[in-house]
DNA sequence: TATAAAAGATAGCATTGCTATCATAAATAA
DNA sequence: TTATTTATGATAGCAATGCTATCTTTTATA
């Protein structure tokens, strides 16, 4: 049996649903490849069209602009990650173990999930690390937020925040700690590979060290005391 | 007596030193205003030239491109902040008090420092919050790093890391904790104002709560145990 | 006063970001 | 089957951006 995941996407993100057509799925697939390869700044619809073998105008029929594409694929990732979390924490009763699994999931390079056809999760993870915060660090963040574009990120934050509260019901900053875990899982990875002297893992360049750091950080804050 | 601060800037950042001429100082001053106002994406040399009352070509005589301008003003800020830290921690022997002062400095909106003529630190602080990470989240990060463009940030990270080690000599992650403090001081501020449900300070929107969160986070990790 | 350095004034050109139009192919309904 | 939506392909075009070049005028300094 071949399982397929469907992530429900916000309809305001696109003009035409890219999941419904071959060209649409190609736009997603090649956007991920191109953004991962060239970075978001150098990513243009022209180049994307050439990669796919279609025209610029073709892309514009699906997405208003490249920023929407970025939000689309990043939202997809957060949705997929929330699914992964619910999967690996299923039947786990101890919230501390749950939270450790979440941290590991966030800080570990993912492999391409064969359950998702046209999405390469490994490239997507790299995009989250290098381009993730550019989704909201803009002047239009307020407008985009009205469209609910950041709901997947907020949902993820709420899920992690709730696990934190399970660990320590009286903890005062579950959401801020959740965003700290998420952002630092990615920033420490970026620093480790690109500006290693900003971290303590510069030599080993090993993700397991980031996990140890985050575990230490988080469980110092929320241990019973 | 009127005191003036001079921050030593990396010579590779500019073509002609903007501090040496009226036009140069205007470029810095108006870049800060324009980036704070329109965001880095919409910031162009054309608009900047119009603001100043000069021409695009005039700006290009000072800076190769807008990304160098961003790195310039951000580097300036880190340099200035390191000076502020050395100032407020001077004669303080207790490292815990030192670190608390640093956290407060990082998380508090600064007022315009009259000791610096053409730089508005308050606007600069907003830029750090919204645009700061765009300085390094690029494909050229490696190239830029070779030019030592991130030295001011690294120096700041080292200073804070050393204070952390003074607090707890055996702590394993002083640099990663330092970058966590720096980045989270700014990200929590951005979230609080723009995506409040990602934080626990959405209602009060008060910087003092961010300080409390960071203090809790940091001193749980490095308290004697 | 000579002359070098900085700034102003234009021009130009490739790329980007976006919209519009018309023709054709593919899917679906009458 | 034919009719007709619907999706795609093929071009064109235009304003804005990013950057370089050249020539003149002003300002600073030797």
In a domain, A141, yes or no: yes
Q: At A34, is the pLDDT very low, low, confident or very high (cuts 50, 70, 90)? A: very high
pLDDT in tens, A83-124: 999 999 999 999 999 999 999 999 999 887 777 778 999 999
Give the CA distances from residue B128 to residues B3, B61, B99, B106, B204, in Å, rounded to whole numbers and listed in that order: 25, 25, 20, 11, 22
B63, part of any domain: no
Quick check: is B65 in a domain?
no
Chain A CB contacts of B153 under 8 Å are 198
- Specify the 3-state DSSP secondary structure of A150: coil
Distance A16 CA to D7 C1' (A): 11
Protein chain A, residues 45-104, with a C-beta closer than 7 Å to any atom of nucleic acid strand D: 53-58, 61
Asked, for residue B52, whether it belongs to a domain, the answer is no
How is residue A196 annotated by DSSP? G
Integer Cα distance of B35 and B70 in angstroms = 9
DSSP secondary structure, A50-93, as one string: HHHTS-HHHHHTT-SSHHHHHHHHHHHHHHHHHHHHHHHTTT--
Q: Measured between beta carbons, which residues in chain A are less than 8 angstroms from residue B75?
A: none
pLDDT band at A13 (very low <50, low <70, confident <90, very high): very high
Residue B78, CB, less than 7 Å from strand D?
no
Cβ distance A177 to B150 less than 8 Å, yes or no, reads no
Rounded-to-10 torsion of CA B41, B143, A130, B215: -90
pLDDT tens, residue by residue, A157-209:
999 999 999 999 999 999 999 999 999 999 999 999 999 999 999 889 999 99
CA gap A138, B130 in Å, rounded? 7
Across the interface, whether the CB atoms of A213 and B176 are under 8 A apart is answered yes
| A109 inside domain | yes
Residue–nucleotide distance: A115 CA to C1 C1' (Å): 82
Q: A2 to chain B, minimum CA–CA distance in Å?
A: 36
Number of separate domains in chain A: 1
Does residue A51 sit within a domain? Answer: no
* Structural domain includes residue A54: no
CB contact under 8 A, B187 and A177: no
For residue A60, being part of any structural domain is answered with no
Q: Considering chain B, what is the average pLDDT of its residues?
A: 95
Task: Tell me the nt nearest to A59, Cα to C1'.
Answer: D8
Q: How far apart are CA A25 and CA A29, in angstroms?
A: 6
Domain that holds residue A185: 74-222
Say how far apart CA B36 and CA A53 lie, in whole Å. Answer: 39
Asked whether B28 and B51 are in contact (CB, 8 A), the reply is no
């Amino acid at each position: 049996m071949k399982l397929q995941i469907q992530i429900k996407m916000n309809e305001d993100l696109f003009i035409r649903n890219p999941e419904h057509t071959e060209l649409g799925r190609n736009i997603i697939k090649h956007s991920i490849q191109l953004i991962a390869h060239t970075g978001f700044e150098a990513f243009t619809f022209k180049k994307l069209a050439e990669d796919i073998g279609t025209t610029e105008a073709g892309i514009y029929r699906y997405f208003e602009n490249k920023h929407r594409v970025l939000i689309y694929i990043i939202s997809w990732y957060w949705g997929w990650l929330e699914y992964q979390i619910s999967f690996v924490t299923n039947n786990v009763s101890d919230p501390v173990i749950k939270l450790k699994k979440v941290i590991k999931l966030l800080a570990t390079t993912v492999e391409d999930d064969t359950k998702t056809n046209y999405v390469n999760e490994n490239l997507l993870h790299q995009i989250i690390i290098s381009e993730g915060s550019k989704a909201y660090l803009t002047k239009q963040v307020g407008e985009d937020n009205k469209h609910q574009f950041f709901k997947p990120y907020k949902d993820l934050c709420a899920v992690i925040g709730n696990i934190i509260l399970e660990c320590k019901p009286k903890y005062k900053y579950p959401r801020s700690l959740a965003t700290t875990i998420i952002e630092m899982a990615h920033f420490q990875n970026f620093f480790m590979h690109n500006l290693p002297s900003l971290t303590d893992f510069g030599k080993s360049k090993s993700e397991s060290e980031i996990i140890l750091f985050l575990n230490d950080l988080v469980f110092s804050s929320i241990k019973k005391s």
